[in-house]
Amino acid sequence: MKMRRLRALALVLAVVLSAACLTHLHRAKRYYAQGQDLARSMQTAGAVAHWQRALDEAREACRRSPSAQAFTVKGLAEANLGRWREAEASFLQAFSLGFREGEAWASDSALAGLAVSFEDMGLEAPSLRIYAHLVDTSGFKPALMIAAERRTSLVLAGASGLAPDDRNRALAGLNKSLDRLIDRDFACGLFHYLRAQVDGHLGDLRRSYEEAVMARELGLPSEKIGRDNDNQLVYCYVRLIASLAPAERDALTAVQARWAAKWGWRDDRTPAWKKE
């Protein structure tokens, strides 16, 4: 009798504990997905809070019942929070537990972390080489996105000190690599935003305007980038209507009025977040 009770108790305990672990993993996945949704709608702060919650839950899931899934979610949350070294360790654990991509993701996380460290130390050349490598080869989106953003920023900063021909060559090369990224993932708003920035530097304001519109429609990873994208869009629009022939100008004004209405702007050049 006593034995039977003990067995029943053990069974109940096992069910309760595994349910608790499942709940932690389930919650971690849910918070992570919500963070992704918020990031897409440019609510960075909310996204960061959700990734942090996802990380807390995933940590608990890994502690109670280590699994490839739990370590993968933990690594993803860490990567989105910029904790590259921790992400590397999590993906290696996930790999050891059967997640096939874990090794490559760990390697890309390590490289992203290394590049960020180099950049923080003012060593731009090695960080640029690593970012370029990640842009060309990485299939791990968080590492790819930070590499694309930082590489674009560093190349733009370096190009500002070059002679006009060299500068245009450097920026054209940058655009080629951004085009490859856009071909690989056309729905990533960040790549269109970066392309809009480079086109703005090259003076191709029409293309810059179109890319900024596309970036806005597809969503950007943070509110600051979203607002900057709006400012870029307005800058291009204002310059374009000042330079176009009347018929083209009227057409562009009509298009911009339609976008502005769709986005809830106060007029064709005032985003909703701007004070009156």
Partner 1 sequence: MGKKDVEAALARGVEILDELLPLKSWLYFPLLYSACVWAVRRVFDYRERILAWQVWLDPGFVRTKPDGFVLDFFRGSAPLRREYAAEIDRGDLRALRAAFPALYAVIGLEDAFLQALFKPEIDAADYRAIVVEFAVRTARARDAIGPAAADPAFWAALERIGREAASLGLHLLKDADVQDMIVALIKGPSSLGPAIPPEA
**Would you tell me which residues interact with partner 1 (CB under 8 A)?**
44-46, 48-49, 153, 156-157, 160, 197, 200-201, 203, 222-224, 227-228, 231-232, 235, 238-239, 273-275
Q: At its nearest, how many Å lie between partner 1 and the CB of residue 192?
A: 17
Q: Which is nearer to partner 1, 43 or 65 (CB)?
A: 43
Q: Cβ contacts of residue 173 below 8 Å, gap of 6+? A: none
Nearer to partner 1, 102 or 142 (CB): 142
Residues 44/222, Cβ–Cβ less than 8 Å: yes
Closer Cβ to partner 1, 98 or 203, answer by number:
203
Which residue lies nearer to partner 1 by CB, 107 or 197?
197
* Nearest distance, CB of residue 196 and partner 1, angstroms: 11
Determine contact, residues 49/68, Cβ cutoff 8 Å: no
Task: Give 186 or 273: the residue with its C-beta nearer to partner 1.
Answer: 273
User: Closest approach of Cβ 201 to partner 1, in Å?
Assistant: 5
Q: How far is the CB of 6 from partner 1 (least distance, A)?
A: 42
Least separation in angstroms between residue 244's CB and partner 1 is 16
- CA end-to-end span of the chain, whole Å? 78
The residue (of 64 and 249) whose beta carbon lies closer to partner 1 is: 249
Helix (H), strand (E), coil (C) string for the chain: CHHHHHHHHHHHHHHHHHHHHHHHHHHHHHHHHHHHHHHHCCCHHHHHHHHHHHHHHHHHHHHHCCCHHHHHHHHHHHHHCCCHHHHHHHHHHHHHCCCCCHHHHHHHHHHHHHHHHHHHCCCHHHHHHHHHHHHHHCCCHHHHHHHHHHHHHHHHHHHCCCCHHHHHHHHHHHHHHHHHHHHHCCCCHHHHHHHHHHHHHHCCHHHHHHHHHHHHHHCCCCHHHHHHHHHHHHHHHHHHHHHCCHHHHHHHHHHHHHHHHHHCCCECCECCCCCC
Q: To the nearest whole angstrom, how small is the minimum distance from the Cβ of residue 29 to partner 1?
A: 21
Measured from the CB atom, the residue of 235 and 263 that comes closer to partner 1 is 235
Quote the least distance from Cβ 155 to partner 1, whole Å: 9
